[in-house]
Amino acid sequence: MNSVIEVNHLRKTYGSVTAVDDISLQVSAGEIFAIVGPNGAGKTTAVESIMGLRRPDSGEIRVLGLNPQTQGRELKQRIGIQLQQAALPNRLKVWEALDLFATFYGRSLPWEPLLEAWGLTEKRSAQFGKLSGGQKQRLFIALALLNDPEVVFLDELTTGLDPQARHATWDAVLAIRDQGKTVVLVTHFMEEAEELADRLAIIDGGKVVACGTPQALIQELQAGSRVRFTSQNGFDAAVLRPLPGVTQVEQHGRHITVHGRGPLLSHVVTALTAANQNPVDLHVEQANLEDVFLALTGRKIRV
Ligand SMILES: Nc1ncnc2c1ncn2[C@@H]1O[C@H](COP(=O)(O)OP(=O)(O)O)[C@@H](O)[C@H]1O
Ligand SMILES: [Mg+2]
What is the structure's pLDDT at 223? 53
Instruction: Determine the straight-line distance between the first and last CA of the chain, rounded to whole angstroms.
Output: 38
Distance (angstroms) between ligand 1 centre and the Cα of 148 equals 29
Residue 7 has pLDDT above 60, yes or no: yes
Percent of the chain surpassing pLDDT 90: 70
Distance (angstroms) between ligand 1 centre and the Cα of 10 equals 15
Atom 27 in ligand 1: residue holding the nearest Cα: 40
Residue 303 has pLDDT above 70, yes or no: no
What DSSP character marks residue 173? Answer: H
Ligand 1 lined by 231 (C-beta under 6 Å): no
Distance CA 172, CA 134 (A): 11
For residue 161, being part of any structural domain is answered with yes
DSSP letter string over 227-282? EEEEPPTT--GGGGTTSTTEEEEEEETTEEEEEESSSHHHHHHHHHHHTT---TT-
Ligand 1 lined by 44 (C-beta under 6 Å): yes
Number of domains in the chain: 2
Give the number of the atom of ligand 1 that is nearest the alpha carbon of residue 84: 21
Q: Which domain holds residue 131?
A: 3-213
Looking at the fold, whether 105 and 49 belong to one and the same domain comes out as: yes
What is the structure's pLDDT at 108? 86
Residue at which a domain ends, from 173, 188, 213 = 213
Distance (angstroms) between ligand 1 centre and the Cα of 33 equals 21
Looking at the fold, whether 199 and 277 belong to one and the same domain comes out as: no
Q: Which ligand is nearest to the CA of 41?
A: 1
Residue 58 has pLDDT above 80, yes or no: yes
Looking at the fold, whether 107 and 165 belong to one and the same domain comes out as: yes
pTM: 0.84
For residue 70, being part of any structural domain is answered with yes
Atom 9 in ligand 1: residue holding the nearest Cα: 45
For residue 129, being part of any structural domain is answered with yes
Chain segment 190-236, per-residue pLDDT in tens = 999 999 999 999 999 999 999 999 999 988 866 578 899 999 878 89
What is the structure's pLDDT at 170? 93
Ligand 1 lined by 40 (C-beta under 6 Å): yes
Q: What is the mean pLDDT of the chain?
A: 92
At residue 126 the predicted structure's pLDDT band, cuts being 50, 70 and 90, is very high
Percent of the chain surpassing pLDDT 70: 98
For residue 301, being part of any structural domain is answered with no
Distance CA 224, CA 286 (A): 7
Chain segment 227-272, per-residue pLDDT in tens = 999 998 788 999 999 999 898 999 998 999 998 888 889 999 999 9
Looking at the fold, whether 145 and 54 belong to one and the same domain comes out as: yes
Chain segment 139-161, per-residue pLDDT in tens = 999 999 999 999 999 999 988 88
If one residue of 12, 13, 16, 17 were mutated to test the ligand 1 pocket, choosing by the most ligand atoms within 8 A of its CB, it would be 17
Tell me the CA distances in angstroms from 206 to 36, 171, 203, one per residue in order. 11, 29, 6
Ligand 1 lined by 43 (C-beta under 6 Å): yes
Range scoring the smallest mean pLDDT among 123-127, 160-164, 174-178: 160-164
Mean pLDDT over 42-52 rounds to 97
